[in-house]
Amino acid sequence: MPLFNVVGIKEKSGRAMRKTYRGFDEAEIRAVALQRDGLIAKWIEQHPYEQATDPQKKRLAELGYRFGSGLNVKEAGDLLRALLAGDHPADQGSLAYAQQLKIETTTYTGKKQLYDAIFRKLLQPGNEQQLVAWFTFRVYRTLAASDKRAIICGPEHVVIQRIAQYLLRDGEVMGAIRQYKGGREWIRFGHAIDNKGQVQRGGRVDTIAYRRARACFEKAFAEIPILRPPISSDAGSTSISAALLTPLLPATDKVIHHRTLESLKAS
């Protein structure tokens, strides 16, 4: 996290004070200064990162990367990790979600690195709902593949949230989610063939968490073509009580077909 210089007024004494804090952004710094020291921030300045170190520059040169003088130590570190891991650039949607979680990123943050950081953040106590929602969304993205009809674009979507609320109540699901080794396993579950013909393996599809999340989608999207992507058949199916699934679908949502709830009740 970057450093910030803060100049402000002590809440109780009214005396001027200058102090340095580490945090994600100015809003967080203001809250930290007030909470820790009773300091009402009047002026905040972020410390610029130092330029890339000579060892970083040397290693990047060895990897065939050429860069200008503006690369800082944080960017160089992210770039090195991405190059050495064969990582791809992180997608904009995931970068935006990381910003919401106050995870620091750079232009060179790789996808695997970012997903691992999101996973670590959401494993922290108090983030259980977000953890399950992110997992549920990644299951959906695996089912959707690259189909353009997959209009659910993030874990905040109402369908993702309702399914996550259901899965959150299942202790077996929570335990299985925590057993995954890292967020990079959630980039895609199962396996796929890349452009070079190589097999890329992702998270396991035989876990209770994956099977139950998949079953929720199969049930909930049965009568909602606008949301339902083509679903592959590589992970089997799991029986789930329709009585439990029915509350997942908001009756007032205009995209929900009126026959959906009836079909779920009858299944």
Q: Tens of pLDDT along 163-207? A: 999 999 999 999 999 999 989 999 999 887 667 777 778 899 999
Whether residue 153 has pLDDT greater than 80 = yes
Query: Residue 243: what pLDDT?
Result: 34
Tell me: do 29 and 103 sit in the same domain.
Answer: no
Is 209 exposed, middle or buried (CB count within 10 Å of its CB: 0-12, 13-18, 19+)?
Answer: buried
Query: Span 89-113, mean pLDDT?
Result: 91
Percentage above 90 pLDDT, the chain: 34
The CB density around residue 52, as the number of other CB atoms within 10 Å, is 23
Q: Is the pTM of this model over 0.95?
A: no
**Cα–Cα distance for residue pair 240/173, rounded to 1 Å:** 13
Q: Note the pLDDT of residue 179.
A: 92
Among residues 91, 118, 145, the one where a domain terminates is: 118
Dihedrals phi, psi of 5, to nearest 5 degrees: -85, 135
Same domain? 127 vs 71: no
Same domain, 138 and 72: no
The reply to whether 233 and 153 lie within a common domain is yes
Query: Which of 118, 150, 169 finishes a domain?
Result: 118
Q: Are 218 and 243 in contact (CB under 8 A)?
A: no
Q: Are 218 and 143 in contact (CB under 8 A)?
A: no
Place of tokens 């097999």: 199
Domain count, the chain: 3
130 and 259 co-located in one domain? yes
Do residue 259 and residue 161 come from a single domain? yes
Specify whether 127 is located in the same domain as 256. yes
Q: Are residues 172 and 195 in the same domain?
A: yes
Residues 65 and 183 in one domain: no
Domain boundary among 118, 150, 170: 118
176 and 212 belong to one structural domain: yes
Q: What's the pLDDT at 175?
A: 93
| 28 and 131 part of one domain | no
Q: Are residues 164 and 224 in the same domain?
A: yes
Range of the domain at 225: 123-266
Mean pLDDT computed over every residue of the chain:
79
